[in-house]
A = this chain, B = another copy of it.
Amino acid sequence: MNATGPVHEALAALPLTDHHCHGIVTADLDLPGFESLLTEGEPWPGVSPFDTPLGIAVRRHCAPLLDLPRHASPDAYLTRRAELGGPEVNRRFLTAAATDTFCVDTGYTPHPITTPRELAATADATAYEVVRLESVAEQLASTGVEPDAYPDAFRTAAEEAVRRPGVVAVKSVAAYRTGFDLDPARPSDTLVAAAARQWSAHGGRLADPVLVRHLLWTAVDLGLPLQLHTGFGDDDIRLHRADPALLTDWLRLIRGTIPVVLLHCWPYQRQAAYLAAVFEQVYLDVGLTLHHVGPARSRAILAEALEITPFRKLLYSSDAYGLAELYRLGALAFRRGLGELLQERVDADELGLPDALRIAAWAAGDNARRLYGLTAPEPGRAPDSAPATRPAPDTRPHRD
C-alpha cells in the first residue's frame, strides 16, 4: 500500500469532481446517531458499526483530522467530534476531500441535511443538482393527480424539476423498487394510467414495474444523463435484481439517446464494466463501495472495475450521505486505490507515465465534466453526450 510516486502526487493535487453524493446531516451527533449513519442497515444491539471495514477506516483516517491519534476509540472519536462541533468537523473533512465539484442527489432526505448550496459553501466548492425521479413521482402522487393524467403529468413535473438552475442529471432508484428485470419496452400511456390507478388506490412508494418503466423512459425523453443505483445498498434491495447486466435489453433500445451512469455497482463491477465497454452511452463509478471497503481494498475493487472499462468511462463519486467523514474517505480511497493501480503499472513499465497521468485526470474530473457539461458552462451549452435536440440545461451552479 505504497502511496508515493508521481501518479499519487498528481492525484493528490487534482481536485475531484464528485458526480454523485448527498447532503450532510446538520444536527449534532451522539454515538448512536453517528453509528446509525455509518451503516447501510440499522445498528444492532451488541454489534458496533465501528467493527466493520468502514469503522476501521474512520478511526484510522478520520481521527487524525480531529487531532486524535490513528485508530482512536469510538468513544474518544465521538467526544472529540462533539468538542469541535459539527461546522468545524464538516469543514475539516470536506476540505480534506479536496473536491471542487459536487453533483448532489437532492431526493433522499430522511434526515435534515445540507442543501447543495450549503454543501458547496462548507467545501468551498461548486455544487450542481441531480433530480431523483422517484421523488418527483411521489411528490406528484401526493397531490392526488388523476391516474389518467399521470403519464403526462409526470413528464411535465420531471421537465419542470430539471429546468431548475444547476440541475445536470436525473437519478433513479429503480434497483430498490423493482430491480432491473423489467420489460425493456416503453409502456403505453394506457398501461401507465392503469398502473397509476392501482398506485393511487393502494398508496405507498412508487414500486410498480410499469410505473418504473415509465419513469426510465421519461428520463430518456428528458435528455439529461441518468444515474442509476446498481448493486448493493441497504436491506431494502434484492441484490441479484440490481445486477446492471439485467439492463442490457433496455440499453439497446435507448442507444443514441441519453448517457446512463451505473453507480456503486459492487459486487457487479465487472458486469458494469462490460456494459461500459460495449455501450457508448454507459459510464460507471464505484462510489459507496470505496468508503465501505476502505482504502485497504479500494485498489482491488478498482482493478476489477477497470479490467475492461474504457478509461473515458470511469467516474468518481463518494455517494456520501450524512457524515462528512464519508466525503473524506471516498476521496481518499479513490485517490489511493487508483494511484496504487496506476503507479504499480507505471513502475512495471506496463503503462507510460503520461498515459497514467491522463487517465488519473480523466477519472478525477475530466470524464464527469465532459459527461455533464460542467466546465465553464456557457449559455446554451449542453453536455457533450446529450442528444442535440434536448433543450440545453441551465447549469448555473450554486457557488459560494
Please state if B303 and A300 are interface contacts (CB–CB under 8 Å).
yes
21 A-B residue pairs with Cβ-Cβ distance under 8 Å, sorted by A, are A1-B350, A40-B277, A40-B278, A41-B280, A47-B310, A51-B312, A51-B359, A52-B311, A53-B308, A54-B308, A56-B350, A56-B355, A57-B350, A70-B349, A71-B355, A237-B248, A238-B249, A239-B275, A292-B307, A294-B350, A296-B348
A75 at the interface (CB under 8 A from B): no
- Whether A279 and B349, one on each chain, are in contact in the complex, defined by CB atoms closer than 8 angstroms, is no
- Output the least CB separation between A149 and chain B (Å): 34
**Complex contact B53–A271 (CB within 8 A):** no
Contacts of A303 in B (CB 8 A): 297, 300
- Among B1, B292, B312, B384, point to the contact of A348 (Cβ < 8 A): B1
Residues in B whose Cβ lies below 8 Å from that of A300:
303
Q: What's the number of copies of this chain in the assembled complex?
A: 3
Shortest distance from the beta carbon of A207 to any chain B beta carbon, whole Å? 14
- Chain B residue numbers with a CB within 8 Å of A306 are 53
CB pair B384 A46 closer than 8 Å: yes
List residues 278-320 of chain A with CB under 8 A from any CB of chain B.
278-280, 292-297, 300-301, 303, 306-313
Tell me, in angstroms, the Cα distance from A39 to B301 when the chains sit together.
23
Q: Does A334 contact B (CB under 8 A)?
A: no
Known A51-B312, A238-B248; further 20 A-B contacts with Cβ < 8 A: A1-B350, A41-B279, A41-B280, A42-B280, A51-B310, A52-B309, A53-B306, A56-B350, A60-B349, A60-B351, A70-B349, A71-B355, A235-B278, A237-B248, A239-B248, A266-B270, A266-B307, A292-B307, A294-B350, A296-B348
Contact flag A308-B232 (CB < 8 Å), given A245-B240, A267-B270, A351-B56: yes
Question: A161 near B: Cβ within 8 Å?
Answer: no
* A307→B288 CA distance, assembly (Å): 12
